Structure 1
Amino acid sequence: MSKPPRFARPFSRLLANAAPALIAVEALVLAWEGYAGLSGISPTTLPTPSRVVSQAIEHRGALLENTIPTLGATVFGFAFSLVVAFTFSVLIDFFTPLRRALMPVFVVSQTLPLVAIAPLIVLWFGFGLAPKIMLVALVTFFPMLVALLQGYAATDRDIEALLASMGASRATLFRLARLPSALPYFFAGLRISITYAVVGAIFAEYAGAAKGLGIYMLNAKNNFRPDLVLAAVSVSAVLTLALFGAAMVIERLATPWSQRDKGRRP
């Protein structure tokens, strides 16, 4: 019996790992379909999953039109967040007093309620892309910053001592030892942050936007169309899963040694 192609093995492992979650989701959807269909509850209160899917297909043009601005705000906001997190992590790592000066400020920034901050940012910067980028960055940069700093701190001291004995500068130590050590931590923070990015963009659109999934949900809610609200929620969930999957693919490409170590574990 011939062995399956090498490229098919990771796919089969992925299916095996995802099977329990898929079964659980399917059971939940079937229970929802049965309850909403047999209980006599009004579709304007709780639509069935089949109605949500049919309405999503029927309104696919409007959903796509509003998904593109949300995706753009998510990608640009997350890219800006990534640059900010990496820049501050390097500054804090090179200049230790900055940790005591900046970390309390960053912690406080995470305690600010978005429901109060989002309308103010929209009021100050308008209804364009800028406030959405700022809000996405606000909710996503902190996990990446903390993950990077933990990664730098986890660098093997023996490697640093060896490089220092060879005359390596602080910048060389950072490039050859501290930065590679931080990559697994960084990608862990990246996966956490990416799940918040779409939510941040949608929340910014709720506060004020011309187009986007957030404003689409708001309009559907005001028109008493929970099926369209849930259709938009489903699109945002798929978008989040796609970005999460992209982050995992990038991690595999950027840290192949980490994946080999995982494969050796019993």
Structure 2
Amino acid sequence: MTKRLQSITNKTAPIGAIIVIFLLWLFACNMELVPAYMLPSPVDVVKAFVDNFPIMMKQASVTLQETIYGLAIGIVIAFVVAALMDRFAILYKAIYPVLVVTQTIPTIAIAPLLVLWMGFGMAPKITLVVITTFFP
């Protein structure tokens, strides 16, 4: 007689957890435990999502465009720099330490500087994606 291994994952637990979190959220909002400007009710969130859906889709397309541009530029630059560093040992010795040091700077610290230097357009966002994509 063979013993079947029981699955250690429960299929209903994630759904149950989501329902419990949703009900706690609804309860906290209905009992006004938290001000509405800090934690709007789930009904208000869904209503705002439906009302603002066209605006969000327009902004999502712009974000996707910035992401694709930044990813493409970052991959191309990373490939060229990696190929040059592999081919020329002097470039590797000169560039690699700088790349390692720049990895210690958090992205959240770079973003405001990029906005100051490049303005509020697409350029700082694309540059941030390039920086994030380049190093890995």
**Which runs of 4 or more aligned residues in structure 1 lie more than 4 Å from their structure 2 counterparts after TM superposition?**
22-25, 48-51
Q: Does 1:114 align with 2:103?
A: no
Bigger CA radius of gyration: 2
Determine which of 38, 51, 58 is the counterpart of 1:65.
Answer: 58
The alpha carbon displacement at 1:44 in A equals 3.2
The alpha carbon displacement at 1:23 in A equals 5.6
1:226 aligned partner: none
Determine which of 4, 13, 22 is the counterpart of 1:33.
Answer: 22
Amino acid at match of 1:34: L
1:140-161 alpha-carbon deviations (Å, 9 max, x no partner): 2111xxxxxxxxxxxxxxxxxx
The alpha carbon displacement at 1:76 in A equals 0.5
Separation in structure 2 between the aligned mates of residue 84 and residue 108 of structure 1, nearest angstrom: 18
Determine which of 120, 136, 139 is the counterpart of 2:132.
Answer: 139
Aligned 8 A contact 2:85 2:92 in 1: yes
Determine which of 82, 89, 106 is the counterpart of 1:96.
Answer: 89
Aligned 8 A contact 2:70 2:126 in 1: yes
Query: 1:147-162 alignment to 2 at 5 Å?
Result: none
The alpha carbon displacement at 1:74 in A equals 0.9
Separation in structure 2 between the aligned mates of residue 45 and residue 31 of structure 1, nearest angstrom: 20
CA RMSD, Structure 1 to Structure 2 (Å): 2.4
Separation in structure 2 between the aligned mates of residue 31 and residue 58 of structure 1, nearest angstrom: 26
The alpha carbon displacement at 1:79 in A equals 0.8
Instruction: Say which SS state the counterpart of residue 135 (structure 2) adopts.
Output: helix
Distance change in 2, residues 1:37/1:92 (3 Å): same
Instruction: Say which SS state the counterpart of residue 38 (structure 2) adopts.
Output: coil
The alpha carbon displacement at 1:52 in A equals 2.9
Separation in structure 2 between the aligned mates of residue 23 and residue 72 of structure 1, nearest angstrom: 37
Structure with the larger helix share: 1
Distance change in 2, residues 1:28/1:116 (3 Å): same
Which runs of 5 or more residues in structure 1 are unaligned?
A: 1-19, 144-266
Relative to the length of structure 2, the TM-score reads: 0.74
Relative to the length of structure 1, the TM-score reads: 0.41
Query: 1:79-228 alignment to 2 at 5 Å?
Result: 79-143=72-136
